[in-house]
Amino acid sequence: MLKFFNTTKNIILILLFAINHEITASNKVSTLERRADSIMRVMVNEYHNQYKKPFNYINLTDSTVWNTRLYKFCKQLPKGGELHIHSTALLAFDDYCSFLASQPNIYIQIEGDNIGHTLYRTDPYDVPAGYLPARICISKEYLTREKSLKLYTFNGCSHDNPWKDFQPIFRRIFNGAFGSPENFEKYMEKAFNIYIENNIQFAEIRIGSTIDRDIFLSMAEMIMKACNNVRKKADFHVTIIGTGNKGYSLEEVQKRIENVAYVQQHIKDTLMNKCNLITGFDLVSDEDKNHSFEYYYDVLKKCEREYPDLKLFLHAGETKKAENNNIKWAIKLGAKRIGHAYNMYFHPELYDEIRQNDICIETCPLSSVNLGYCTSLDSHPNIGYIHSGLPVAICSDDPTIFEHTALVDDFFAVIVDWNLSLSEVKQLCKNSITYSSLSKKAKKKVMKDWEKRWVKFLEDTVK
Ligand SMILES: [Zn+2]
């Protein structure tokens, strides 16, 4: 009886402690959040006083901005994960150049008709004329920083047809870093290490699915290897979304889906209970010039039926044209997330459908400005989606080509230009985890970790 009484008393005491602790903790966090919010606004004002208004994304390429308190705050911000980024442009421009220079088997064309083209060669005698080792090109300034910016980024792009400029940049970038599995693994590892430094816990990487499924499998293996390498130092997660192109025929798209599904079956995240490394499928490229999702409806619906573990994360509405209905079709297709959703402001009737279907909008603020969809962030429609209470996550798209640092610069830009409160920023970070394609177990782990990081971040900010 006494034992029972003591046990009951202990349980009550534990409960009282837990309730009390909970209240204290939540009060503490909310007080901290209020104080951190005021500090964040002071930092934004400091930035505005130092730099001209309105905010120009070009400011982010000015290294003096990187020393502002606000920029450091954005680096430290626990951002959750990156939901929309393409494998060919994971690194900031300077990091990409230092990666090229660090690899002895990457060569760059400095004379000829394709200046800046990167090439992988193991035998120096096999290197064509006009190419020099990347470390010489970059360190000896055969390719000055200014010249490299023109070759690997949108710097100097006229914006008349930015999609046209994409292809040559991809072609230059692709063969060096992606030329061998070893280089690809090192490239991925460098990106993951930088993400960890910038308080990013995971990345969902979009990779073009190859015609030969074994090449795609070997790329996935290298990504898993790179992730496991960085896991020796820090907790990090990665997933892959295989992509096709909106210019493909129906048969080609069908084939790419089959390849992605095949690879999904053949590689798992062994350190995370063998959960899926490959989690989804998407179709990319210029929506104004290519096929619509209406055109691909049957083949994508079939994908959903035949491969239920392969979810659809679709680029849709990345256009200024009201008549483009890709968002409507992406919703019909059961997409879990929609990339960009830029033109949805023409279709407010879709807001409710987005809400009811709990679809997250992958907002890539700096990408939209760089691609010329809006002239400044002030006129970016996705701030309206946040104010309408739609689930939004902030994403980077193509950091190398847009001369940005993944997520850090995007958060910096929206904090400055969208006048967000810290609680709105917090929601954006949390959404990236909630709407990720991580396994249930990984998601729970990442969220728990994020909550700890958030409290520490607030404490560090108010210090
Ligand atoms: Zn994209």
- Give me the domains of the chain, ranges plus CATH numbers: 58-93+173-455 (3.20.20.140), 97-152 (no CATH)
**441 CA from centroid of ligand 1 (Å):** 27
Q: Judge whether 105 and 121 are in contact, CB under 8 Å.
A: yes
**346 CA from centroid of ligand 1 (Å):** 21
Query: Which amino acid is residue 272, in one-letter code?
Result: M
**182 CA from centroid of ligand 1 (Å):** 25
**pLDDT the model gives residue 251:** 97
Instruction: Give the three-state DSSP class for 384.
Output: helix
**86 CA from centroid of ligand 1 (Å):** 6
**233 CA from centroid of ligand 1 (Å):** 29
Rounded to the nearest 5 degrees, what angle is found at the Cα of 214, between the Cα atoms of 240 and 259?
A: 60
**pLDDT the model gives residue 16:** 41
**pLDDT the model gives residue 55:** 63
- Buried b / exposed e over 381-409, threshold 16 CB at 10 Å, is bbbebbeeebbbbbbbbbbbbbbbbbbbb
**198 CA from centroid of ligand 1 (Å):** 21
**pLDDT the model gives residue 440:** 95
Query: Which amino acid is residue 157, in one-letter code?
Result: C
Token readout for 460 is: 């560090």
**284 CA from centroid of ligand 1 (Å):** 7
**246 CA from centroid of ligand 1 (Å):** 12
**pLDDT the model gives residue 138:** 87
**317 CA from centroid of ligand 1 (Å):** 11
Annotate 14-67 with DSSP letters as a single string.
Answer: HHHHHHHHHHHHHHHHHHHHHHHHHHHHHHHHHHHHHSPSSP-GGGGGSTTGGG
β-sheet bridge partners, residue 202: 81, 237
**126 CA from centroid of ligand 1 (Å):** 35
**pLDDT the model gives residue 58:** 66
Instruction: With both helix axes pointing from N to C terminus, report the angle between 408-417 and 2-50 in degrees, rounded to the nearest 10.
Output: 70
Query: Residue 417 and residue 410: Cα distance in Å, rounded?
Result: 10
**336 CA from centroid of ligand 1 (Å):** 15
**pLDDT the model gives residue 39:** 97
**281 CA from centroid of ligand 1 (Å):** 13
**114 CA from centroid of ligand 1 (Å):** 25
Distances in whole angstroms, Cα of residue 157 to Cα of each of 94, 146, 166, 321, 409 = 18, 13, 10, 22, 20
Q: How far apart are the first and last CA of the chain?
A: 51
**68 CA from centroid of ligand 1 (Å):** 29
Q: What backbone torsions phi and psi does residue 205 show, to the nearest 5 degrees?
A: -100, 130
**pLDDT the model gives residue 284:** 95
**98 CA from centroid of ligand 1 (Å):** 24
**396 CA from centroid of ligand 1 (Å):** 8
**pLDDT the model gives residue 54:** 61
**340 CA from centroid of ligand 1 (Å):** 8
Residue 314's nearest CA partner among 290, 350, 340 is 340
**286 CA from centroid of ligand 1 (Å):** 10
Query: Residue 118 and residue 140: Cα distance in Å, rounded?
Result: 17
**94 CA from centroid of ligand 1 (Å):** 21
Token readout for 15 is: 């409960």
Q: Which helix (H) or strand (E) holds 255?
A: helix 250-266
- Buried b / exposed e over 187-196, threshold 16 CB at 10 Å, is bbbbbbbbbb
Annotate 140-201 with DSSP letters as a single string.
Answer: TTSS-HHHHHHHHSSTT--SSSHHHHHHHHHHHHHHHHTSSHHHHHHHHHHHHHHHHHTTEE
Instruction: Give the three-state DSSP class for 96.
Output: helix
* R_g (Cα) of the chain, nearest Å: 23
Query: Residue 100 and residue 133: Cα distance in Å, rounded?
Result: 9
**84 CA from centroid of ligand 1 (Å):** 6
pLDDT along the chain (463 residues), means of 10: 40 38 46 95 92 69 89 97 96 94 93 91 93 89 86 74 82 83 94 98 96 94 97 97 97 97 96 94 94 97 94 97 97 97 96 97 94 88 95 96 94 93 97 97 97 97 92
Query: Residue 52 and residue 60: Cα distance in Å, rounded?
Result: 13
**315 CA from centroid of ligand 1 (Å):** 7
**47 CA from centroid of ligand 1 (Å):** 29
